Structure 1
């Protein structure tokens, strides 16, 4: 199933604390497709109001070379309510709202109900990071205003009591990708938290892509280039996809072979989707 959204979210998603205005420009020019300013976990409770005020500066660059967004506090909390009030008053508003601890379509509907106006309908994404959210995935993902989902591995692992290794989280990742595809929306994988091990990042990003994720989170600007490179189709993959599309056309979409491999309807569909993405 293809994505039902016309917009294509970036492959690398970078998040920056709202109280680190000195990092804002670096985040926005890092090569990330989506740069988020954070009002949630990176901000201490006593600093939430200062963070809301500081975050306005993040959106004062309409020429930024990426989509700008915000990770708010859960709309089911008092701080989340205060975030929505503040965001509704921003002169320049975020293109993406990332809703943490999402466990119900109501979380998405509440954000849309407060922020949507005739001239502004932000892309609302759900951060899936609790066992309860995974139990309710089909219901959450059916929310009409939901643009996509992001996997929150650290909170999920803490709640379940498992490790952050790939094998420990494979069930959660597979479930999220499958449910997101069933709903026709993209899924972004969780970051790798080792700041200096780019080989580990590349290895995990390759597995994320193989699993069906659209992109991956980043916790440092140096990670974005690796994520972009890993999720970008290679010249060999593009050439093979074009060959499969041609073979499908010539065979009338019947079973045929390309490079010694049997191909049929699902191969044609996957190749056509890749070519649509490459050719825009």
Structure 2
């Protein structure tokens, strides 16, 4: 793994909210950043009809040039079309003309060589979107590719390919299996923890919060968002409780004071795994 990849993995691991903007609506980019999203993804794939893709690329390049001229450019991520499509190399050329992109999301990733091709041609870090059975089957080989920083996945596409009925208890079992595979593979290959898929109903705040609790407890890093209002909801759901932060602070204070490997706080036995969990919590929320 080269230094660029390693540095980018470290950087994106702190990104919790990834907000999509259609490439046909360049005017929404500034609004997306204003929403507080950690990362903004301009989508050249599913959000853009085939007949509109060329115009969308031109509009994005014009936006990039104008922002650079004003020295106000904020790096965006770009979701490009799958490697087997006729749009792929057109998207690659656009990336080469926009060297200050934050990185690339490769749609429907299935092969390690496609990820490596994107990286070699653009010099940009790559997030692989797993959207097919073949892609899911090949995640281990893709995880070894130089340039890859993280995985995410498109659950609706995967359900269609696997013939899973969306919105059923069975679909939830499959979704959690996918999450587990991506978390495990990412950890083994020292990638950033994976990014969870979109939550389609942007008006369902309770359901979104429950989803955030699920993926964050499973060790995933962040979530793809399709509406600005989801950004604040995700960030709020990720906030640890005051009780959890206070407990973690007391654990670390007692450990540093006593030097004991095992001790008790509030009736709970504390040992090395608990201490490490408390360190991670306080480090993440900068409470110590």
> What range describes the TM-score normalised by the shorter chain of this pair?
0.7 to 0.9
Cα deviation 1:38-89 (Å, max 9, x = unaligned): 000111112211111122255437646x752110112333211110012211
Rounded Cα–Cα distance in structure 2 between residues aligned with 1:164 and 1:229: 27
**Alignment correspondent of 1:203:** 210
Greater mean deviation of Cα atoms: 243-252 or 78-87: 243-252
Match of 1:183 among 185, 189, 200: 189
**Structure 1's 143 and 243: CA in aligned 2 closer, same or farther, altered over 3 A?**
farther
Rounded Cα–Cα distance in structure 2 between residues aligned with 1:260 and 1:107: 53
Does the Cα contact within 8 Å between 1:244 and 1:268 map onto a contact in 2?
yes
Match of 2:90 among 58, 82, 94: 82
CA RMSD of aligned residues (A): 2.2
For 1:93-242, what aligned pairs fall within 5 Å after superposition?
93-116=100-123, 122-165=124-167, 166-184=172-190, 185-242=192-249
**Structure 1's 246 and 151: CA in aligned 2 closer, same or farther, altered over 3 A?**
farther
Rounded Cα–Cα distance in structure 2 between residues aligned with 1:51 and 1:40: 10
Q: Secondary structure at the match of 1:14?
A: strand
Match of 2:10 among 6, 9, 12: 6
**Structure 1's 232 and 67: CA in aligned 2 closer, same or farther, altered over 3 A?**
farther
Cα deviation 1:2-56 (Å, max 9, x = unaligned): xx63314421111111011232221221111111100001111122111111222
Does the Cα contact within 8 Å between 1:248 and 1:264 map onto a contact in 2?
no
**Alignment correspondent of 1:73:** 81
Greater mean deviation of Cα atoms: 167-176 or 213-222: 167-176
Cα deviation 1:168-205 (Å, max 9, x = unaligned): 41111121122222222221101110121111111111
Q: Secondary structure at the match of 1:6?
A: helix
Where does structure 1 differ by over 6 angstroms across 4 or more consecutive aligned residues? Answer: none
**Structure 1's 58 and 218: CA in aligned 2 closer, same or farther, altered over 3 A?**
farther
TM-score (norm. length: structure 2): 0.85
Rounded Cα–Cα distance in structure 1 between residues aligned with 2:146 and 2:275: 29
Shift of 1:220: 0.6
**Structure 1's 251 and 77: CA in aligned 2 closer, same or farther, altered over 3 A?**
farther
